[in-house]
Structure 1
Amino acid sequence: MLGFAKVGHVFLSVTLLILGMLGNGFIGVVNVRSWFKSKRISWSDFIISALALSKIILLWILFLDCVSMVIFSKALAELRPLEVIDVFWTFTNHLSIWLATCLGVLYCLKIASFSHPTFLWLKWRVSRVVMWMLLGALLFSFGSAMSLICELPIYFLLRETAGAGNVTEHFGKQMGEYQQIHVLNMLWYTPPLILCLASYILLILSLGRHMQQMRQSRSSASDASTEAHRRAIRIILSFFFLLLFYFLAFSITSYSYLLPSSEMATIIGQLITMLYPASHSFILILGNNKLKQTFVELLCCECGHLKPGSKGPLAP
């Protein structure tokens, strides 16, 4: 049963890797080509491109971890270079989450409409706000990666002790210390979650006010501002739910050595973990007019309904 699960694990990992590479690679190619043509790039395109690059790196790290766990699980368990890979994964993981959060904040500042002085001050300085958020994202990602160094020695000691069945009083103390450090490290995810949730709430409130104004003026409810609100809300909400599933999978993988079927729990956790970087790219494509138009044109060309270089069905 476990052998069949490992084969399915590798197959699904390869599938998610291919899907993620296609989606994120498509985003990177389209935005970089547009950047070279126009000699400039917007903040949203820059963040989306950086997000796609970080998720490509994250996908490869997760995929190599999946394959090594299936093929060389016992041989790689004691290799110290894995600690360096874990630190690099932590940095890329946090950076990816922060970039998605920065994108949600950017959408909120550009689309939402409020008369509060603080919001107006941020809205008028949106470029400066995004720039400082990106710098803060790098610092937070670096800090989270450095904090992992304190946790790794205890983690490897606990895994070796639990595998040997040597549960002693010292093991209990080490377990308590590891859980404390692990909980503190999980707090690094709190700021992006709060900002993501705040952006979503502000967009919902702004959309409600806008719809009320449209009803009072008896205008059409499907104007450009309403569609922009709804599109941004769908992007932020989908990212929020994917992030929650991602945290759940990460927790399963981190504590898998304590479960009765630790290897099966690790397999399930790793597959759910790969789902976020693989699927989020397609949500971004469907939520971005330029990416969606190029994607539809590419599909039409592949199906033979559109000649290369001609205008697509979504072109103005």
Structure 2
Amino acid sequence: MLGFAKVGRLFLSVTLFILGMLGNGFIVVVNVRSWFKNKRISWSDFIISALALSRIVLLWILFLDCVSMAIFSKVLAELGPLEVIGIFWTFTNHLSIWLATCLGVLYCLKIASFSHPRFLWLKWRVSRMVVWMLLGALLFSCGSAISLIPQFQIYSLLRETAGAGNVTEHFGKQMGEYQQIHVLNMLWYTPPLILCLASYILLILSLGRHMQQMRQSRSSPSDASTEAHRRAIRIILSFLFLLLFYFLAFLVTSSSYLLPRPEMATIIGEVITMLYPASHSFILILGNNKLKQTFVELLCCESCHPNPGPKGPLAP
């Protein structure tokens, strides 16, 4: 019999998994259908589609991990860490974060307005910049995944040392090395966080400058440029908030062995980590005009055309 905590963990995991698959799957279907229909796709739609695909894979990994840890936790504890799955999860996780960062930088370059020569140079070469950002995202994701190999090796030594008997000093030295590598691996999250924060600040400054110009010219404060600024700011700010929340949850999960109740901390952390890829997809849908319009049309179609019941011989 599963405990109450494990049942609640499974329920929340299944709910977030279904919501995330629906949101990210909707993004992929709409953009791919538009791609085949128009024979072309914009960079923003391409990045959003790749981001949704990476989060679909990430949700599957997180969901299977939650289910396996809830039902087969003792078996997995005896088998030890699954290095291949851990490396694959790290690669997908960092790729998802970097793609969201590339989307924020792209919005900043296309929407923000500054007269600085370097910003104008980047703005005029936005297509080339996107290509380099995507290549950099792949390289950073591969680097973060490869950096896990020493951590897994030390973890295997820790398991062997723990079962060898009275080797407290050697065990403490290996644990210190493991924690040091674990902290260094957390630094892979720093570059995308800095880039997203810089994009958010530039958009805020650009919006303030634009609003000041609108007031001086006594124009309407709700023009297309202002709405584009606000929409991009909401998307980047939501990503920053969810990324920080996700990072804290991941930190709690990976450091659960230091807490008084490690099992409960792991359950809470793993459920929260699923909230980021599941919820941000709906924020992207609401922030994109094409996706939002298609989503509203789909809801209206479902509400206006309910499924008819079976017709009998006396039905009109």
Same fold at TM > 0.5: yes
Q: Which residue of 2 aligns with 1:57?
A: 57
Which residue number in structure 1 is paired with residue 211 of structure 2?
A: 211
Distance 1:140 1:262, change over 3 A: same
Structure 1 unaligned spans of 5+: 307-316
Instruction: Pick closer, same or farther for the CA change 1:123–1:152 going to 2, 3 Å.
Output: same
Deviation at residue 170 of structure 1 after TM alignment: 1.7
Q: Report what 2:75 is aligned to.
A: 75
Secondary structure of the corresponding residue to residue 147 of structure 2: helix
Match of 2:285?
285
Q: Which residue identity is paired with 1:132?
A: W
Name which of structure 1's ranges 141-150 and 167-176 shifts more when overlaid on structure 2: 167-176
**1:13-45: CA deviation from partner (whole Å, max 9, x where unpaired):** 000000000000000000000000000000000
- In the TM superposition, residue 250 of structure 1 has moved relative to its aligned partner by 0.7
Report what 1:313 is aligned to: none
- Determine helix, strand or coil for the equivalent of 2:231: helix
For residues 156 and 262 of structure 1, the distance between their equivalents in structure 2, rounded to whole angstroms, comes to 20
Alignment of 1:261-280 (within 5 A): 261-280=261-280
Which letter maps to 2:65?
A: D
Post-superposition offset of 1:159: 6.1
Residue 229 of structure 1 corresponds to which residue in structure 2?
Answer: 229
Structure 2: how far apart are the matches of 1:162 and 1:99?
A: 40
How many percent identity over aligned positions? Answer: 89
Paired residues of 1:90 and 1:141 also in contact (CA < 8 A): yes
SS state at 1:77 partner: helix
Corresponding residue for residue 99 of structure 1: 99
**Please, which runs of 5 or more residues in structure 2 have no aligned partner?**
307-316
How far does residue 259 in structure 1 lie from its aligned partner after superposition? 1.9
Letter of the 2:45 partner, please give it.
D
Q: Which has the larger radius of gyration?
A: 2
Aligned to 1:33: 33
The CA deviation at 1:305 is 7.0
**Structure 1 residue 162: deviation in Å?**
7.0
Distance change in 2, residues 1:215/1:171 (3 Å): same
Aligned twin of 1:181:
181
Number of aligned residue pairs: 306
In structure 2, relative to structure 1, the CA distance for the partners of 1:157 and 1:213 (3 Å cut) is same
Q: Give the deviation of 1:77 after TM superposition.
A: 2.1
Deviations for 1:144-183, whole angstroms, at most 9, x for unmatched residues? Answer: 0000011112234446767999782222211211121111
Please give the per-residue CA displacement for 1:254-309, whole angstroms capped at 9, x wherever unaligned: 11122221111100000010000000100000000000000000000010079xxx
Cα RMSD, aligned residues only: 2.0
Q: What pairs with 1:1-316 in structure 2 (closer than 5 Å)?
A: 3-79=3-79, 82-158=82-158, 168-304=168-304
Question: What is the distance in 2 between the residues matched to 1:93 and 1:157?
Answer: 26
TM-score scaled by length of structure 1: 0.93
Deviates more, 1:80-89 or 1:59-68: 80-89
Letter in 2 for 1:260: P
Identify the residue that residue 311 of structure 1 maps to in structure 2. none
